Amino acid sequence: MTHPVTAAVYGTGSWGTAFGMVLADAGCRVTLWGRRKEIADAVNNDRVNPDYFPDVELPATLRATTDPAEAAAGADFTVLAIPSQTLRENLAAWAPRLAPDTVLVSLMKGVELGTAKRMSEVIEEVAGVSPDRVAVVTGPNLAREIVGRMPAAAVVACRDEEVGRRLQTACHTPYFRPYTNTDVVGCELGGAVKNVIGLAVGIADGMGLGDNAKGSLITRGLAETTRLGLAMGADPLTFAGLAGLGDLVATCSSPLSRNHTFGTNLGRGMTLQETIAVTKQTAEGVKSCESVLDLARRHGVDMPITETVVSIVHEGKPPLVALKELMSRSAKPERH
């Protein structure tokens, strides 16, 4: 490309804003799309996103608009950073205006309810593009740390290696180090299922179950993620990487994680409604635990931790009862 790389980022929430900043710091010309004019105006006039990062000065090269067509114009990369369950409806409205040959990039870590589709599958279907033009950015990337330009590594996954390398270059900064991977299925599953395991670890932390429980949940959570991945054709090694273990560790150990915090509140005894009421941002695992379990059943895979999270979050099972059931499952070899 001879012109400066141009990116449209749909979503002025935590990760859209933070990743837009990464792209701008890497030298791209970036336009954020947001549904609220007051945020777009504040980004353009005051270089701040008042609702998500009021204390962070955004790069002057980061612009914002509420007009999806204006954001889309000439974009080499079209980056999607909205809640997973809203993607289909939003993208259907934006798709006719997307720049020809743009690469669609998913930042989202969820699985669609009802269809059990991964976000890249929804993108391919709704935008009518080949998998070679769809990429995923994932890994241990808590947005609050990224806007502080604290160091992090990430994975850029795309079936087409050349497209992956172009996106890697477009978002590589001194504090953000992206690696490429062609295993899109594994990278997306890693991101979606870690949110569910993050809820489980949060619940355990809220109940005061200790660090052995945390280590056990992280490890057995990774085991069930890998089982699902294998059944879906992913490379098991992906789950030992940034999209798997890396993201799982960051989410399960950080109070900045919305999923972990959501689980902690439940584990401390808040009701689901009370927990939803105090959660200001997107905690994808709350909805995606059901679609992940749906995926597991479609593929005949046993995911006991995911099943337990669904039973607590959506079926009102008391965490102590769920814990007792999880611990009394039949004994088995570690690898089965």
Ligand X SMILES: O=C(CO)COP(=O)(O)O
Ligand Y SMILES: NC(=O)C1=CN([C@@H]2O[C@H](COP(=O)(O)OP(=O)(O)OC[C@H]3O[C@@H](n4cnc5c(N)ncnc54)[C@H](OP(=O)(O)O)[C@@H]3O)[C@@H](O)[C@H]2O)C=CC1
The nearest distance, CB 286 to ligand X, in angstroms, is 10
Q: Does 11 bind ligand Y (CB under 6 A)?
A: yes
Q: Which residues contact 212 (CB under 8 A, 6 or more apart)?
A: none
The number of residues that bind ligand X (CB under 6 A) is 14
Q: Check if the beta carbon of residue 142 is closer than 8 Å to that of residue 256.
A: yes
Q: Does 263 bind ligand X (CB under 6 A)?
A: no
Binding mask 20-59 for ligand X (x = CB under 6 A): ----------------------------------------
Record the tokens describing residue 203, joined without a space.
């619940």
| Residues in 63-122 that interact with ligand X by CB under 6 A | 109
| Cα angle 257-259-264, degrees, rounded to a multiple of 5 | 95
Task: Label the pairing between strands 77-80 and 103-106.
Answer: parallel
Whether 175 has a binding-site annotation, put simply, is no
Q: Does residue 194 have an active-site annotation?
A: yes
| Of 140, 178, 206, 319, the one binding ligand X by CB under 6 A | 140
Find how far residue 315's CA is from the centre of its chain: 24
Q: Which residues contact 216 (CB under 8 A, 6 or more apart)?
A: none
| Cα angle 126-128-132, degrees, rounded to a multiple of 5 | 115
State the binding partner of 186 from ligand Y, ligand X, none, CB within 5 to 8 A by kind.
Answer: none
Q: Where are the alpha helices (DSSP H) in 208-271?
A: 211-231, 247-253, 258-267
Marked catalytic residue, from 37, 194, 214, 280: 194
| Residues in 264-293 that interact with ligand Y by CB under 6 A | 281-282, 284
| Of 7, 9, 12, 264, the one binding ligand Y by CB under 6 A | 12
For 101: left if phi > 0, alpha if psi spans -120 to 50, otherwise beta; the answer is left
Euclidean distance between CA atoms 211 and 209, whole angstroms: 7
The number of residues that bind ligand Y (CB under 6 A) is 27
Comparing CB distances to ligand X, the nearer of 224 and 247 is 247
Q: Which residue bears the tokens 């990487």? A: 241
Helix (H, G, I), strand (E, B) or coil at 328: coil
| Of 7, 9, 14, 261, the one binding ligand Y by CB under 6 A | 14
Comparing CB distances to ligand Y, the nearer of 207 and 261 is 261
Which amino acid is located at 188 in the chain? E
The nearest distance, CB 162 to ligand X, in angstroms, is 26
Euclidean distance between CA atoms 228 and 224, whole angstroms: 6
Find how far residue 326's CA is from the centre of its chain: 27
Euclidean distance between CA atoms 318 and 1, whole angstroms: 56
Residue 281 is classified by DSSP as S
Q: Which stretch binds ligand Y (CB under 6 A): 136-144, 159-167, 271-279, 316-324?
A: 136-144
Comparing CB distances to ligand X, the nearer of 260 and 287 is 260
Euclidean distance between CA atoms 43 and 49, whole angstroms: 6
Whether 94 has a binding-site annotation, put simply, is no
For ligand Y, the binding residues (CB under 6 A) are 11-16, 34-36, 51-52, 81-84, 86, 90, 107-110, 141-143, 281-282, 284
Q: List binding-site positions for NADPH.
A: 14-15, 35-36, 52, 109, 143, 258, 284
Q: List binding-site positions.
A: 14-15, 35-36, 52, 109, 139, 143, 194, 247, 257-259, 284
For ligand X, the binding residues (CB under 6 A) are 109, 140-142, 195, 198, 247, 250-251, 257-260, 284
Q: Point out the residues that are catalytic.
A: 194
